[in-house]
Amino acid sequence: MAIRSDSVRDLLDSLSASASARRRRRRKKVSSAWDQLLSWPFANLAVYMTVSVFWANNYLGTLNEQLEDISGVSKEQASHYADYFNLVMVVGVPLLPFFGKLIDRFGHPVAMLLTSLLGIVFAICAVVNSLPVQWVTFIAYGLFRTFLFAVYFSYAAYEFGFRYFGLVTALPLMIAGGLCTMQSPMVDWFHHTYHTMNVIQLVTLAPMVVCAVYVGHRRRNGLTLCHPHLADI
């Protein structure tokens, strides 16, 4: 009996040691905060979010002036359209569950690509000097802005895990917030005329498609900085 008891004890010790070794190996797979912040995936996500948030906030803050800048539009017409915009802007909210299902079904690259394309449609229509076309601008903007934050936080959790989730997601938003302080000087620089500014908006939003392609490349190769099942370690 003593021999059998010793064998059982040795077996349990061996299993415990193996479990400890596996936990150590798993911990090594989880990247540090600096590893994440200095990585290409973080740079890609930061650029994507910073550029997108900058233009989304700029349009929101200058909407009335942009509508008045359209040829032949009175202040009264612009005010009416701004009221319509406030209603249309929430168009993406009821669609968020379907957007979440799209992420689950097709992954973050498709969701980011769709969001980027909506941003491009919004930017193209904002350039058009036609008041009726701005209905398309409103709808595209509402979807773009709503989906942007949904895919941002979802992808950050998938790519980086939850150990440094607060830091990883807050830093790009802080950078975007800092850049947004340049919006008022930028508007003054262009003397409150918006056609050229909207062209620049389109030129800078269009390359965000490349960010989605990069995310797709990582997904195809099974690359993440934090494995999903280790995200809560």
Question: Do residues 88 and 139 lie in contact, with contact meaning Cβ atoms separated by under 8 Å?
Answer: yes
Contacts for 147 with CB less than 8 Å, ≥ 6 apart: 92, 96, 99, 111, 114, 115, 118
So what's the pLDDT on residue 146?
Answer: 96
- Shared domain check, 22 and 40: no
Amino acid, res. 216: G
Q: What is the pTM of this model?
A: 0.83
List the domain range (segments joined by +) for residue 115: 31-230
Please check whether residues 15 and 111 belong to one and the same domain. no
Residue 49 CB burial class (10 angstroms; 0-12, 13-18, ≥19): buried
What is the domain count for the chain? 2
Q: Give me the percent of the chain exceeding a pLDDT of 70.
A: 84
Statement to judge: residues 209 and 136 lie in one domain: yes
CATH number at residue 123: 1.20.1250.20
Asked whether residue 87 carries a pLDDT value surpassing 80, the answer given is yes
Residues 63 and 3 both lie in one domain: no
- d(CA 186, CA 176) in angstroms, rounded, equals 15
73 shares a domain with 23: no
